Amino acid sequence: MLQNDICVASDHALEVPTDQRLFAIANALHTGYTVERIWQLTKIDRWFLNKLLNIVRLDQYLLTMALNDLTPELVRRAKQLGFADSQVARCVQATHMAVRKLRTDWNITPFVKQIDTGTAAEACFGLRRWRAACSPEHFFLL
């Protein structure tokens, strides 16, 4: 994920709700703001901020690694947190195809589950598809 150049991390950028606020939060987490400080400025739920912090921490950890250092568990965790192969590759200074090859060699593949969430009256609109990153316990709405 690396820091972005869309918005700087500042108290003002965090306090004012704009379409760029999420980028400011990401940069703030990268530069050392605590979840508590960001919560004080934004009043965004701490649970959500901690989830973002998990992504930033994994991103920072991946930046210290090379392609040969990756493990199946680490790649699986990155995929569960929503990292694309290209994002992992950028962190480890490799190509997305090299990361994809490792991932597929380790049999880490997404799958789709279909769940009927509607009633009979809206049967054609009630089906939802969920993508799970490597594990049925981790679902994402498609």
Across all residues in the chain, what is the average pLDDT?
84
Q: What is the mean pLDDT of residues 40-60?
A: 96
Amino acid at 65: M
92-110 pLDDT, tens per residue? 999 999 999 999 999 998 8
For residues 23 and 7, is the Cβ–Cβ distance under 8 A? yes
Least confident residue range of 94-98, 109-113, 116-120: 116-120
Structural domains in the chain plus CATH codes: 11-105 (1.10.1030.10), 111-141 (no CATH)
Q: Is 87 in a helix, a strand, or coil?
A: helix
User: Which pLDDT belongs to residue 43?
Assistant: 96
* Whether pLDDT at 86 is above 90: yes
CA-to-CA separations, 128 to 81, 102, 112, 121, in angstroms, rounded: 21, 30, 10, 15
Of residues 121 and 82, more confidence is placed in 82
Q: Report the distance separating Cα 14 and Cα 8, nearest Å.
A: 9
Nearest to 134 by CA among 88, 73, 69: 73
Q: Is 132 in a helix, a strand, or coil?
A: strand
